Amino acid sequence: MDEEEHFLARRKSLRKQVIESDQVSRRIGVQEVDERRGKASHVFALAGNLAVSILALADNADRELYLDHNSICVLTRTLIEAVSMQFYLGDLDCDEDEWRCRKWVLDLNDCHNRIELMKNLQTNDKVNKGQKAKVRLRDRLKSNDYLQTFSKRKQKALLSGTEAFIKTPHEVRMMIGYQDQQLRGIYRLLSMHTHAGAFTVVGAAEREMYIPKSPYSYSRAALGLELTGSTLSASTRHMLELFPRASQDIES
């Protein structure tokens, strides 16, 4: 199987996975659920939209002069980030104190990042409002019992607002189900495309990336589609665990 055939096979497989994901989403529908399932559902919808966008880029190969493998890799990385958040917030195995700690750390980090953004945009009135909100969110987090199980150094980092997770970002991404070293390699490769460094820009000509029927582009795009498919499938399985009734409806 040459690079183009491999790419077409991966695209065909992803199309089926996108359809399956959409079917599960429709089966779940709109429900009154607890906060964990609610947050996971929102991220699942985002994951589905990202996969559709990636598939659309792959379909462009039939019409464009070259295959935009770089954008496929960028969106694949974004998809992995999104689905890792789905697993992180949709985790039914942690107790309520830990889950609240996870959520409140995220809230504080979001507030901190918005403040930094407003500082850069020099909107001082919004910065002042954000600082007041940050104090409230920090005080709320301080009251969490699970926070007290961390070292003083870790607590200080979490209370600063600069940390998004109580785990490392890699540990959060590992919740999807990838193996440790496998994930490190995948994420490093996708990040090279995301940040458009020398790997992407300088090597474009020598690898003949942007020419019609480029074997390199087909190969790299196929990898992105494969990772998109495996990540989306993990996301779909997780939703069926959160909403087992949806699985029963599909089987019937």
Domain ranges in the chain are 3-93+178-251
d(CA 191, CA 73): 8
Element (H, E) at 147: none
d(CA 190, CA 71): 10
Question: Residues 129, 132, 137, 138: is their CA dihedral positive or negative?
Answer: positive
pLDDT per residue as tens digits for the range 64-75 = 667 888 899 999
Spatial separation of the C-alpha atoms in residues 172 and 235, rounded to whole Å: 14
Q: How far apart are the first and last CA of the chain?
A: 38
**Residues 6+ away with beta carbon under 8 Å from 212:** 65, 66
pLDDT for 87 beyond 90 = yes
Residue-level pLDDT at 62: 82
Indicate if the pLDDT at residue 79 is higher than 70.
yes
pLDDT band at 202 (very low <50, low <70, confident <90, very high): low
How far lies 151's CA from each of 95, 99, 103, 147, 157, in Å? 19, 18, 19, 9, 10
Q: What is the pLDDT of residues 231-247, one digit of tens each?
A: 999 999 999 999 998 87
Q: Give pLDDT, residue 124.
A: 80
Contact of 44 with 239, CB cutoff 8 Å: yes
Cα separation, 183 vs 177, whole angstroms: 9
**Hey, what are 219's tokens?**
């190969």
